[in-house]
Amino acid sequence: DAKTTQPPSMDCAEGRAANLPCNHSTISGNEYVYWYRQIHSQGPQYIIHGLKNNETNEMASLIITEDRKSSTLILPHATLRDTAVYYCIVRPANFGNEKLTFGTGTRLTIIP
């Protein structure tokens, strides 16, 4: 998997948008950007993924720069339940039987 770089921690006020950055300057043309999160003592949870266009689902939005070297996960109205470690990874989409490798991620704390 291509390497990603994320800030180790961030705080965000409850109700505000949380913007989590990720650098992936060595991403290949066929690699997607995936985001997962892990709430304390729970299994990781898939959030969203994208190739080059911006994506939005019921959980979050993903903004990928035009050169694809970085991206931002946006939680539009953060709640206390969004406190978690967020992982950004890059990998080909057609990898069904390959392992996931998480970096150290960003520990997001939502402040009441």
Q: By the criterion CB under 8 A, which residues form the site for other proteins? A: 34, 41-46, 49, 93-97, 99-104
Closest CA to 26 of 99, 106, 90: 90
Residue type (1 letter), 11: D
SS3 content of the chain, % helix, strand, coil (to 5): 5, 50, 50
Pick the closer one to other proteins by CB: 67 or 97: 97
Among residues 14 and 59, whose Cβ is nearest to other proteins?
59
Shortest approach of other proteins to residue 40 CB, angstroms?
11
CB of 35 to other proteins, least distance (A): 10
Write the single-letter amino acid at 38: Q
> For residues 12 and 32, what is the distance between their CA atoms, to the nearest angstrom?
27
| Least distance to other proteins, CB of residue 38, Å | 8
Which of residues 79 and 104 has its CB atom nearest to other proteins in the complex?
104
